[in-house]
Amino acid sequence: MKKAFLFALLFCAAAAVYAQQQIPKIGVIDYSRIVQRMMPNSDQLQEIKNIKQAIDDETAAIEAEIATLEKEKSDIESRSHFNDASDDINDQIASLRYYLKQFVDEKNKELEEKKALVPDTTEILSKIVNQIQYVAESEGYSIIFDSKDRNIIWWTHSVDITDLVMRKLRL
């Protein structure tokens, strides 16, 4: 009888220890949706991207034109001793380089003005992450996944804490 009682007591203790083990609480969040709501200046970010692309495109086009003119100049100089055509090409190259410098300077100034209007993204992203961490800890979540993660095959919307985080961020 004592053995049975001791066995039952040991079994209950083991069951109690096992029952106390915490089952991880998992949450999902739509991080990109929160970021988009926190950064309403996406039009300004697109303008900045467009300006950078314009600088790259124009620079590449002009540098290609300069390379073509330099090759043409080299061909002329190797065929003849006349420098008039070569001087004209030198003038064209100098003109293109001057235009390129002016263009890049002007666009970089425009770029800096646009950047000054956009809030610091690292500060915003840090605020979002801090709020996600606060919500996760206060609600007892062990892990939070991004709903856009391709490794998540399926999840129920009951574990989605996006709206909760957005309310905390007052969005």
150 and 101 assigned to the same domain: no
**pLDDT tens sequence across 85-133:** 778 888 999 999 999 999 999 999 998 988 887 777 788 889 999 999 9
With residue 146 as reference, give the H or E element that holds it.
strand 143-146
Last residue within a domain, chosen from 79, 94, 118: 118
49 and 79 assigned to the same domain: yes
Give this prediction's pTM. Answer: 0.49
131 and 108 assigned to the same domain: no
140 and 107 assigned to the same domain: no
| Domain, as residue range, for 50 | 42-118
Q: Alpha helix locations (H) across 2-120? A: 2-20, 31-38, 42-79, 84-117
59 and 109 assigned to the same domain: yes
35 and 92 assigned to the same domain: no
46 and 97 assigned to the same domain: yes
Last residue within a domain, chosen from 102, 118, 134: 118
Which residue type sits at 76?
A: I
**pLDDT tens sequence across 34-82:** 988 887 666 777 888 888 999 999 999 999 999 999 998 888 878 776 5
User: Which CATH number goes with the domain that contains 130?
Assistant: 3.30.910.20
